[in-house]
Amino acid sequence: MRPFQAVTLTSLLLALLACGTRTPGTTAGTPRGPREAPDWIDHEELPDGLGAVGIAQPNPMGDKAMQRTVGIADARARLAGKLKVRVQSMFSQLNQQVTTAAADPTRKPVRDDVMNRVVENVTRQLVDQELAGTSLRATWTDPRDGSLYVFLVMTRDATDRALAGAARNQIRHELAQGEQSLAHALDQLDTAVAASR
């Protein structure tokens, strides 16, 4: 056989093999079949609460319970990040209100280090205690790769109550420590919680 014929024959075989492995309706480089994922995977924001999607890859042992635990832990970590942003937003609103009130010569402004300490402590308290109040709204397993998606939700009312309660406790603690500049913050707290949504 001549080298030219061998190359042509090899090229023809490779082309036939490539055509034979393609599923009808797909093109090279696209996944086979649609990924019929639920809408919440790409749109986890909720009008009635705070949601986060966690993802867990299948494990070598095929342990579904472990995969679910990993997915929930991932969702909780993501939800904790969202809670921290919400706490920072609330205290930013609160700090603006307290600073405006501090124009009154009888009140003094809150020091940055005090406000930062309050934000960190409130965030830690919410993450440590309130994430236990979350609920698993939905799960979905991707049929292509076995990844498990979990949708963890904390209702808006529960979030607001937890946020306001943790903030009140921390502000009262700071007041007891002699940080009187936060006294006005308790009066403004509900407005700041509502504005942080």
33: in domain: no
pLDDT of residue 175: 82
**How many domains does the chain divide into?**
1
Q: Which residue has the higher pLDDT, 176 or 56?
A: 56
Residue type, 29: G
pLDDT over threshold 70, residue 16: no
pLDDT in tens, 61-113: 989 999 999 999 999 889 888 888 888 888 888 877 766 655 666 666 667 77
Identify the domain containing residue 136 by its residue range. 40-195
| Residue given tokens 């969702």 in the structure block | 75
Residue 152 pLDDT more than 80?
yes
| 24 in any annotated domain | no
Report if residue 3 sits inside a domain.
no
Query: Can you give the pLDDT at residue 4?
Result: 46
Asked if residue 20 is part of any domain, the answer here is: no
pLDDT at residue 26, as a whole number: 31
Q: Does residue 105 fall inside a structural domain? A: yes
- 155 in a structural domain: yes
CATH number (domain holding residue 124): 3.10.129
Torsion of CA 171, 172, 176, 179, to 10 degrees: 30
Residue 72's pLDDT is 92
Residue 75: inside a domain:
yes
Q: Are 158 and 133 in contact (CB under 8 A)?
A: yes
Q: What rounded mean pLDDT belongs to the chain? A: 76
**pLDDT at 147 (0 to 100):** 95
- The mean pLDDT of 133-159, rounded to a whole number, is 91
Residue 100: inside a domain, yes or no?
yes
pLDDT tens-digit map of 20-48: 433 333 333 334 334 589 999 999 988 88
Instruction: Say how far apart CA 61 and CA 59 lie, in whole Å.
Output: 5
